[in-house]
Amino acid sequence: YTMKEDLEYALQNHEFILHIQPQFDHNKSIVGAEALLRWQHPQKGLLYPGDFFPVVEEFGMMTQLTEEVLYLAKQLIQKLPKKVRIAVNISGRDIYSEQFETFLSSYFDKELICWLDLEITEQVLIQDVNKAIDLITRIKKELAVAVSIDDFGTGYSSLQYLKRLPVDFLKIDRSFVQDLFKDKNDYVIVATIVNMAKSLGLKTIAEGVETKEQFEELQKIGVDFFQGYYLAKPMPEDSFIELLQTSG
């Protein structure tokens, strides 16, 4: 096989799967989850995005892969014993493509789409911020989908833009969480993001929460939601469903 055939075969045979990482509130109740793509390769085992995205990009297959991710996310949302928001990562290639809105509206009806959250990195949004504002405004007018800015704090987006971007969540980049106690600047950045989000009416999610101390300090700062290895690692869909069933 060529690598391209391998990928095409994988798409046809649904070898791509989602691992799900829960997001929690202050009481450690699950309020949502991020879907992270994996390739269950018949010979090579479980592959991570870093292993196959370069090849996907090389063959221009990102759009097809994103269509598969949306399909998988829809299946998952339908299966959830208790509805929570499911976030999917959307690349710059997807969001600025013509087909993206078509996929969204053809896969998701009104009842389902309100459980979907599109994670778009700050870097991608600021590449063409006016286009991003137009697109997200239009999508949200037609479809009640949530939008998160991923890796927030790394892209130097100005307040001016943020005010005009109709998003719901800011995901505070994990680098700030990791250095929360090591670097006073990072503490100040997190506090500033939280205050800014509050004044704009946005919710914050801290990424990469790895310790109890970080979790507690972030609560004090006023972060709304939490994601990271301290609370739960990304897990297979079945485990996530089980966790949802057993958690209060």
Cβ nearer to Na ion, comparing 119 with 224? 119
Q: How far is the CB of 18 from Na ion (least distance, A)?
A: 12
For residue 211, give both structure tokens.
């310790």
Q: Is 150 in the site for Na ion (CB under 5 A)?
A: yes
Cβ nearer to Na ion, comparing 68 with 119? 119
Size of site (CB under 6 A) for ligand G: 19
Q: At what angle do helices 237-246 and 62-79 cross, to 10 degrees?
A: 30
Angle, CA 161 vertex, CA 157 and CA 165 arms, to 5°? 115
- Draw the binding track, 204-233, toward ligand G (x: CB under 6 A; -: no contact): ---xxxx-----------------xx----
51: CB partners within 8 A, 6+ apart: 39
Residue listed under structure tokens 């939008």: 147
Q: Which of residues 145-174 bind Mn ion (CB under 5 A)?
A: 150-151
For residues 32 and 84, is the Cβ–Cβ distance under 8 A?
yes
With CB under 6 A as the contact rule, the residue among 69, 125, 180, 205 that binds ligand G is 69
Beta bridge partner(s), residue 133: none
* Interaction site with ligand G (CB under 6 A): 21, 36-37, 48-49, 69, 88-89, 91, 150-151, 174, 207-210, 228-229, 234
